[in-house]
Every structure is written in C-alpha cells, then in structure tokens.
C-alpha cells in the first residue's frame, strides 16, 4: 500500500504540476518554453514536498467521514478532491505567482515600477488562484480515480473495505 501511495504522490504531483504550469504560464501572457519548464520543475518539487509532508489522503478521508461520505463513492471522490485541490493547488499557485512576479519585476525598469506599472502579486494572484483551483479540481476529479484504479490493478490489490 505504501508503494501505491508513493507512486500516486509522484504521478499526481507530476500531472498537477504540468497542468498548473501550463495554465499559469499561459495566463501570464508571456508563454515561453523556458518559462514553462522552470515553472513545471519548481512546482513539481513543491508538489513532492507537499505530498510527502502533508497527509492529504488522511485529511481527505477525515473530511469525507465528517460529512458521512464513503470515500469510494462519487460524493467521497468530489469531497476528497476539494481537500487535495485546496492544499496542492493553493500552495503551488501562491509560491509560483510570488516567484514569477518577483522575477518579472526584476526585468522591468525602475521608472515603470515606481509609476505603478508591471505585474504585481495583488493583481496576479486572485485570477491565477481562481483559475488554478478550478482547473486543479477538474484534473483531480478526472485523473485521481483512474490512477488509483490502475495502480491497484497493477499491484493486484483489492481496495480496503470502507
């Protein structure tokens, strides 16, 4: 079971990082391949740190239990996806927006910045976070059950009874 959890953490981190990096780099209006690759690598590292430090599955299971939802039911899937999305997507998006805006501001002349020009975290973060949370939730809902089924089937394990 531990092997499945580790594999799941890596695969979901990879997929979420790929999608969120693509979306947020595109939202910036300055999509470049190097910018996307840097964003992807940094967000993947962040997602791995989150995945190995925060017991997201346990938190999702506890949330489902609190709301009387069976984990493997559609309701349980939707509820646990909310927990996963709020943790992963929020942390990744906030860190990435801060890093990217800070980096972008270093490339803008001081006179433009002092006149209020250029990107700001306050203007960028709300839009980026809303879009990322919606996209992240959809990705989790679509991908996570497929990965769980594939990993359990690959490891020839039955799901634990709820």
Residue 44: what pLDDT? 96
Domain ranges of the chain: 2-154
Q: How far apart are the first and last CA of the chain?
A: 15
pLDDT digits (tens, 9 = 90+) for 100-122: 888 877 877 787 777 877 778 88
pLDDT band (50, 70, 90) for residue 162: very low
Q: Within its chain, how far is the Cα of 81 from the centroid?
A: 11
Residue 93: what pLDDT? 93
Burial class (CB in 10 A: 0-12, 13-18, 19+), 126: exposed
pLDDT at 158 over 80: no
pLDDT digits (tens, 9 = 90+) for 49-71: 999 999 998 999 999 999 999 87
Closest CA to 81 of 156, 133, 3: 133
Neighbours of 146 (CB within 10 A): 9
């Amino acid at each position: 079971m531990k092997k499945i959890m580790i594999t799941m953490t890596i695969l979901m981190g990879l997929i979420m990082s790929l999608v969120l990096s693509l979306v947020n780099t595109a939202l910036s209006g300055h999509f470049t391949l190097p910018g996307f690759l840097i964003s992807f690598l940094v967000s993947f590292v962040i997602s791995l740190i989150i995945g190995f430090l925060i017991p997201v599955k346990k938190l999702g299971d506890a949330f489902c239990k609190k709301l009387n939802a069976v984990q493997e039911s559609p309701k349980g899937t939707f509820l646990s996806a909310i927990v996963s999305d709020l943790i992963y997507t929020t942390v990744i998006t906030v860190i990435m927006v801060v890093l990217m805006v800070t980096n972008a501001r270093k490339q803008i002349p001081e006179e433009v910045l002092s006149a209020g020009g250029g990107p700001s975290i306050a203007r960028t973060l709300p839009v980026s976070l809303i879009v990322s949370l919606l996209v992240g939730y959809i990705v989790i809902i679509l991908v996570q059950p497929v990965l769980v089924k594939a990993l359990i089937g690959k490891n020839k394990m039955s799901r634990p009874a709820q």
